[in-house]
Homo-oligomer: A and B are copies of this chain.
Amino acid sequence: MKNLFIYLLTFASCVSVAFAQKTKVVYNELPVYGKLFDTPSKYHRVDTVKYNDLPVRVKHLFTNSAGLFVTFRSNSSSIYAKWCVTDAKVSSNLTSIAQKGLDVYIKNADGEWQYAGSKGTAKTCDEGSLIANLDQTAKEFLVYLPLYDETRSLKIGVEEGASFLPLPNPFQKNIAVYGSSIVQGASAGRAGMAYTAILSRRTGLNFINLGVSGSAKMEPEVAHMLAAGTPEVFILDCVPNSLPEIVSERTQYFVEYLRANHPNTPIIMIPSVVRELSYFNQVWNKRNAEQNAQFKKEYETLLTKGIKHLYYLDSKTLLGTDHEGTTDGTHPNDLGFMRMADEIQPFVLEIMQKHNLL
């Protein structure tokens, strides 16, 4: 028994009985991808001990597993998961699938990642089948972690006797996307619909989710942390959380610090989506317009200072034009996220081509 226990610990696997199917399921841990840096806490996006001077709220949000994923190959006819999150309540503008759940893609015959299933939970720890009744050819799977909670543990299960092979990150290069709740993924219906995730699947590039809901305020400490990474591109989509004064105070330092540490890395500035609220709410209308006007002004000032490889996505239609692209007037629904991806993708790819980064 002791030997068996050691065996299990060694391989981080365990055999248990799935309640419904009475199928023996072998659970495995997997490496977690989607990070700008390795982190000592496997399911955190940023090492919040190393970057201890980050604002408290920002550190907390980097413990959320937004944008993280695991990937493996298996011929199992069902895929299971056991995972734990915190007891945080589900936000009114999120499903529990998006906030606390898992979202599964399979590489299809065309070599594209195709949505296959997803699962939410009302519990802090849950387990069960994610997808079932698959044909038993070997397939590549990609499982996104919860967008808006700290993942405490995750094991992926396959049927006893099925093949199981951890895979390397399928996405190449890193594009660091620093931003607000919108980058973090509110209000995608499931984790795979955050715009960074859509863009990664479509382009094969690793769009890294560094969204910090409500807290993307361009503090110098965030610039320092980001500059410690070595992405191919920086994207700054942080205006929604920054009042015009904050945009005015902090943009220059933030961009110049990144530029000083990464002389040739393209930096893309994305203004705030036009909040749907702002068409009728006059306070939001003014704030939204001033935030974006100030961000544009900062961009122009940076250009006049001679900052190179700096780009501004000058768009007022990131969410489309029919006003249906949000769940709550601020946060894109899956329609809005698809439209954002449609606008951002060609803009980023063109810049990367220009810089010979593709």
B-binding residues in A (CB < 8 A): 89-90, 92-97, 101, 106, 108, 114-122, 131-135, 187, 189-190, 192-193, 198, 276-277, 279-284, 323-329, 333-336, 338
Contacts and interface: CB of A to CB of B under 8 A. Distances in A.
B334 A95 contact: no
9 smallest CB-CB distances across A and B, nearest first, come from A92-B120, A189-B327, A333-B334, A189-B333, A133-B283, A334-B335, A335-B335, A92-B96, A133-B281
A92 B114 contact: no
A92 B122 contact: yes
Contacts of A334: 189, 324-325, 327, 333-336
B327 A106 contact: no
A349 B133 CA distance: 39
A277 B131 CA distance: 8
The oligomer's copy count stands at 2
A18 to B, nearest CB: 16
Contact of A323 (B114, B283, B336): B114
A134 B324 CA distance: 19
Contact of A115 (B119, B282, B326, B338): B326
B90 A96 contact: yes
Contacts of A106: 280
Contacts of A283: 132-133
A176 to B, nearest CB: 24
Nearest to A341: B324
Contact of A329 (B101, B115, B120): B115
A166 B127 CA distance: 50
Given A131-B280, A277-B117, A327-B97, A333 B193 contact: yes
15 contacts: A89-B122, A92-B121, A93-B95, A93-B189, A95-B187, A97-B327, A116-B277, A117-B329, A118-B327, A131-B277, A187-B189, A190-B327, A190-B333, A193-B324, A193-B333
A95 B327 contact: yes
Contacts of A116: 276-277, 279-280, 329
Contacts of A325: 334
A85 to B, nearest CB: 13
Contact of A93 (B97, B134, B336): B97
Contacts of A326: 115
Contacts of A192: 324
A92 to B, nearest CB: 3
